[in-house]
Amino acid sequence: MIKAKKTPPDRLSWLVDVTQHSVELSDDAPVYVKVSEQTSLKDTPAPAQHPYCEMNVALEGDGVLFVENEEKHRLKNEILLLGPGVPHWCKVTKFPLRSITVYFLPSALLEFCNPHVSISILRRFTACRSLNDRLLAVPDSMHKDVIRSCHEMFEEFQSRQFGWELRVGAILFTEIIRLIRWEVSCGKHTQEGTEDFDWRPVVMALRYLRDHYTKQIYAKDVSEASGVSETRLKIIFRNALGMPWVKYLQIYRSHRAALLLCEGRLNVTEIAYNVGFESLSHFNATFRSVMGVSPSEYTKTKSVLKV
């Protein structure tokens, strides 16, 4: 079995070209499904990162996958699971390269299943992991089943028929649970660390952030809403999602701001205050750190960034 390896320093230059990848997600439509095809070097996407969770399934072609400071020749039966803010890129070695990618907001799981289950699933995506753990080399029969489900999700997503959001979410999370169960059956303890803290305060904190992101939020507010001390919340939130709650809030606010920028009804200053920032300078700095470009640059290039 081919293992991932550390990328030599002279091959890390791709990180300089990382751009923010944006798709239209919202609380009402928290899942986005995309079919990609690269037939030559000229239409190969730039290295990217995004504030979503991602499941990517290869359909055709070959390439070397780069994730953070690691690289691996990707096998056709490997399914890639990524969390928010992880830079990644694929150097194609055999065209055409086709894949299906499903993006979803981390908050989507909270409304979809038992909080304990949702936190465990999120942990599978957001925890700091090696590239070997981010790639699931499943049996061929299982890989075919996942591809079939991804095609079904894509058809539902494209149809926009009544209830498509629930249908796509149901298929996606069913497949993710199946993948996690398969890992467990293989003796892979990917959920280690999810049982050593109380998940309920994390859920309450996430709901508080979602419901109050337009207002000023302080650590004491979040800890009171979650029912634990500020110190305890800091520890368990990072254990659950792999990031501080402040970072999660920045991603959530920046994402909401990006949607407002796409609508074009408000100017940048109005959007900054509408998503909870006290100053335009703080908003600009945070948006750039999360999205990779400034709000004004995002507005000018949104037609390119949109999928």
CATH of the domain at 284: 1.10.10.60
User: Is residue 195 a part of any domain in this protein?
Assistant: no
How many separate domains does the chain show? 2
194 domain residue, yes or no: no
One domain for residues 172 and 237: no
- pLDDT value at position 107? 74
- Residue 193 maps to a domain: no
9 and 94: one domain?
Answer: yes
Mean pLDDT of 204-215: 90
Q: What is the model's pLDDT at position 303?
A: 47
Closest CA to 180 of 192, 194, 190, 171: 190
Top-confidence residue, 78 or 50: 78
Q: What is the 3-state secondary structure of 231-286?
A: HHHHHHHHHHHCCCHHHHHHHHHHHHHHHHHHHCCCCHHHHHHHCCCCCHHHHHHH
Q: Mean pLDDT over residues 232-246, rounded? A: 83
- For the chain, give the mean pLDDT: 87
Is the pLDDT score of 204 beyond 90? no
Is the per-residue pLDDT at 102 higher than 70? yes
Residues 174 and 27 occupy one common structural domain: yes
Same domain as 163, residue 291: no
Do residue 69 and residue 120 come from a single domain? yes
Q: What per-residue confidence (pLDDT) applies to 198?
A: 66
End of a domain among 154, 185, 216? Answer: 185
Higher pLDDT, 303 or 148: 148
Question: Quick check: is 211 in a domain?
Answer: yes
Q: How far apart are CA 255 and CA 235, in angstroms?
A: 24
User: Residues 110, 250: one domain?
Assistant: no
Tens digits of residue pLDDT in 114-128: 767 787 788 888 877
Domain boundary among 150, 185, 220: 185
Number of H helices, E strands in the chain: 11, 9
Residue 15: inside a domain: yes
Cβ burial of 66 (10 Å; 0-12, 13-18, 19+) is: buried
Residue 154 burial class via C-beta count within 10 angstroms: exposed 0-12, middle 13-18, buried 19 and up: middle
Which residues does residue 35 pair with via DSSP β-bridges, in sequence order? 100
Q: Which two tokens stand for residue 295?
A: 């709000």
On whether the CB atoms of residues 53 and 248 are closer than 8 A, the answer is no
- Report the pLDDT value the prediction gives residue 190, as an integer from 0 to 100: 57
Residues 82 and 224 in one domain: no
Q: Which of 24, 97, 28, 25 is nearest to 60 (CA)?
A: 97
Are 181 and 219 contained in the same domain?
A: no
Q: Is the peptide bond before 51 cis (omega within 30 degrees of 0)?
A: no
Where in the sequence is the domain holding 252, given as residue range(s)?
200-305
pLDDT above 50: residue 305:
no
Mean pLDDT value across residues 121-145: 90
Task: Note whether residue 126 is domain-resident.
Answer: yes
- 81 and 161 belong to one structural domain: yes
236 belongs to a structural domain: yes
Contact of 291 with 258, CB cutoff 8 Å: yes
Q: In terms of domains, do 257 and 140 share one?
A: no
Distance between CA atoms of residues 116 and 193, nearest Å: 13
What the block records as the tokens of 38 is: 């690269």
* Residue 191 domain flag: no
Question: In this model, does residue 103 exceed pLDDT 60?
Answer: yes
Q: 234 and 204 in one domain?
A: yes
Q: Is residue 43 over pLDDT 90?
A: no
83 and 231 belong to one structural domain: no
Domain edge (last residue) among 155, 185, 215: 185
CA nearest neighbour of 88 among 109, 67, 103, 74? 67
Q: Which residue has the higher pLDDT, 307 or 166?
A: 166
User: What average pLDDT does this structure show over 108-112?
Assistant: 74
CATH code where residue 150 lies? 2.60.120.280
Q: How far is CA 183 from CA 2, 73, 170, in A?
A: 18, 21, 20
